[in-house]
Structure 1
Amino acid sequence: MKQKLISFSLNRSLMIAMVALLAMGACKSKKKAAQPEPEPAPVERVEETPAPAEAPEPTAEEVAVEKLESSFNSLTSASSPALANQSIEQTLAMFSNQDTPVLIVIHEENGIKDYDEPTTIRKYLEYLKDTKKNLNFISDIRLDANGKVSELELRRK
């Protein structure tokens, strides 16, 4: 009889515990449903400036400068004299003639520029081929009516 009483009370206890758990679970879900949701924090609206539709077209001078800088770099990194000579001929095609002046600014003060000895584009390209160093960058470029370079001004990097 004692065993029956123990098993009966154990079954009864388990049943009461299960009912209590279900009741507690149901209360929590009802409580959550009854509470209003907190209002979201106010969000500041930042007006975005519209992005430009397209970047402006580069000018003829800017395109020429990019091509020349690329040509100068490929000339200094040429693996053989034949490739360097080919690069020189391709670069000379961008100039009005092979005697186009190249001025290298060595100093500037109060708007007055001091230039290194003037040279021609052919001589400058040969110099780049021999030294394999491009120590200058293009600071000014002038194009003729045909879009070819008629004068080039360089500065030390």
Structure 2
Amino acid sequence: MKQKTTSRAYNRLFTLALFAFLAMGACKSKKKVVEQAPPPPPVEKVEEAPVAPPAPSAEEVAVEKLENLFQSVTNASSVPVANRMIDDSMSMFSNQNTPVLIVIHEERGIKDYDEPTTINKYLHYLKDTKKNLNFVSDVRLDGNGRVSEIELRRK
């Protein structure tokens, strides 16, 4: 019996000593790593040349011009001023009968359009109602860079 008790005592003593040794060894190794870490090299600031945003496509430019035209015709101070804006803007379009399609519903990629109209009629509609309820969702240009078709959606 004495051997079992003695061996258990030695096993416990040995286990505690091993645990203490590992604990002390782990603490020292962390201190050494922290102490021996070299300071980080100084960071040099490299000034990068500013990246120019990509040039807008012809369609994006046309959409912006159309939005501005629609808003200015809607907000025109008088009917003669609106008529002058409409006449001046006709050079943007392939002809006065350029189709304007207004999407009233879209489901699963299938679009339902309101009755098609022309750009001339639509601009006069904006002039008369003084309400711009649509935004340009798609523009098609002809070979000369003029608008050949407009697709609008409700805001």
TM-score surpassing 0.5? yes
Residue type at the aligned position of 1:104: I
- Who is 2:83 aligned against? 85
Matches of residues 22-33 of structure 1 in structure 2 within 5 Å?
none
Per the alignment, in what secondary structure is the counterpart of residue 93 of structure 1?
helix
Q: Hey, which bits of structure 1, 4+ residues long, moved more than 3 A?
A: 47-52
Unpaired runs of 5+ residues, structure 2, are: 1-39
Matches of residues 9-88 of structure 1 in structure 2 within 5 Å?
50=48, 52-88=50-86
Structure 1 residue 56: Cα displacement: 0.4
- Who is 1:120 aligned against? 118
CA RMSD of aligned residues (A): 2.2
Task: Give per-residue Cα distances to partners, 1:32-75, cap 9 Å, x unaligned.
Answer: xxxxxxxxxx9xx7x99957520100111111111111011000
Q: Distance in 2 between matches of 1:137 and 1:74?
A: 14
Residue type at the aligned position of 2:149: E
Q: Distance in 1 between matches of 2:137 and 2:48?
A: 33
Match of 1:138 among 136, 139, 144: 136
Q: Distance in 1 between matches of 2:81 and 2:121?
A: 17
Per the alignment, in what secondary structure is the counterpart of residue 108 of structure 1?
strand
Unpaired runs of 5+ residues, structure 1, are: 1-41
Residue type at the aligned position of 1:80: S
Q: Distance in 1 between matches of 2:111 and 2:49?
A: 40
TM-score (norm 1): 0.68
Per the alignment, in what secondary structure is the counterpart of residue 126 of structure 2?
helix
TM-score (norm 2): 0.69
Q: Distance in 2 between matches of 1:61 and 1:85?
A: 25
Q: Distance in 1 between matches of 2:95 and 2:50?
A: 39
Structure 1 residue 78: Cα displacement: 0.4
| C-alpha contact 1:103 1:154 (8 A) present in aligned 2 | yes
| C-alpha contact 1:68 1:91 (8 A) present in aligned 2 | no
Per the alignment, in what secondary structure is the counterpart of residue 92 of structure 2?
coil
Q: What is the total number of aligned residue pairs between the two structures?
A: 116
Q: Distance in 2 between matches of 1:52 and 1:65?
A: 27
